[in-house]
């Protein structure tokens, strides 16, 4: 995928002008089109340039206990409104001879979240990548997020959060599912980034 930042910047300027705001008219906004283009290219849609196989970088192991990582902060942009959402991800897999670094799981979530997508699809893509690249017989991903499109528009549900999940293989039920459910229920799932304690 090619990114043309100059074109994106021109489009943002045009977008703002079409909405009645000329960014060139104020010191605060004259660099805004460039900043927006940079942010979208570098932080919001950088997932298209990431390869899940490279991120997971499998390492052979003899251990086969379930790996669970909870509370991975993530953010994305909703495909319907181009508004940000943010929350926490909980990821687990049952290795079968291949493992990956724990920090790689957060980057795997980012790889799929930093695209124009839906929360449900991110969860599914995470479990599919673990099954495919680590040959894991079981994988699970739960994502809890607060969406700006629910806070700022429509019925303005500031406290609402969306939970999406994907359970594959050994996590479809039984002891692996139970172990994972206990771990993410114990995690600080009721506190999303930005929550008031």
Question: Where on the chain is the footprint of Zn ion (CB under 5 A)?
Answer: 78, 80-81, 149
Q: Is 37 left (phi over 0), alpha (psi -120 to 50) or beta?
A: alpha
Q: How far apart are CA 28 and CA 24, in angstroms?
A: 9
85 or 171, CB closer to Zn ion?
Answer: 85
107 or 115, CB closer to Zn ion?
Answer: 115
- Min dist. Cβ of residue 28 to Zn ion (A): 27
What is the CA 182 to chain-centroid distance, rounded? 22
The residue at minimum Cβ distance from Zn ion is 149
- Min dist. Cβ of residue 76 to Zn ion (A): 10
- Min dist. Cβ of residue 192 to Zn ion (A): 17
13 or 161, CB closer to Zn ion?
Answer: 161
- Min dist. Cβ of residue 164 to Zn ion (A): 13
85 or 167, CB closer to Zn ion?
Answer: 85
Q: Specify whether the CB–CB gap between 97 and 59 falls below 8 A.
A: no
- Min dist. Cβ of residue 154 to Zn ion (A): 9
- State the Cα torsion 110-114-118-124 to the nearest 10°: -30
What is the CA 162 to chain-centroid distance, rounded? 13
Residue from 128, 197, 108, 133 nearest 169 by CA: 128
Q: Is 156 left (phi over 0), alpha (psi -120 to 50) or beta?
A: left
- Min dist. Cβ of residue 39 to Zn ion (A): 18
Give the single-character DSSP code of 102. Answer: H
């Amino acid at each position: 995928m090619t990114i043309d930042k100059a074109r994106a910047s021109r489009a943002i300027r045009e977008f703002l002008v079409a909405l009645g705001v000329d960014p060139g008219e104020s010191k605060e906004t004259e660099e805004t089109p460039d900043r927006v283009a940079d942010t979208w290219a570098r932080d919001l849609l950088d997932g298209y340039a990431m390869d899940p196989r490279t991120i997971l970088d499998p390492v052979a192991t003899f251990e086969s206990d379930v790996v669970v990582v909870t509370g991975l902060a993530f953010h994305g942009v909703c495909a319907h409104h181009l508004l940000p959402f943010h929350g926490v991800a909980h990821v687990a897999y049952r290795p079968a001879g291949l493992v990956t670094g724990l920090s790689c799981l957060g980057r795997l979530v980012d790889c799929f979240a930093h695209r124009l997508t839906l929360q449900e699809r991110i969860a599914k893509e995470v479990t599919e990548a673990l099954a495919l690249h680590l040959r894991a017989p079981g994988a699970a991903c739960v994502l809890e997020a607060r969406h700006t499109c629910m806070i700022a528009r429509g019925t303005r549900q500031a406290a609402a959060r969306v939970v999406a999940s994907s359970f594959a293989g050994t996590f479809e039920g039984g002891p692996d599912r139970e172990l994972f459910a206990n771990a993410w229920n114990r995690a600080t799932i009721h506190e999303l980034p930005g929550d008031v304690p």
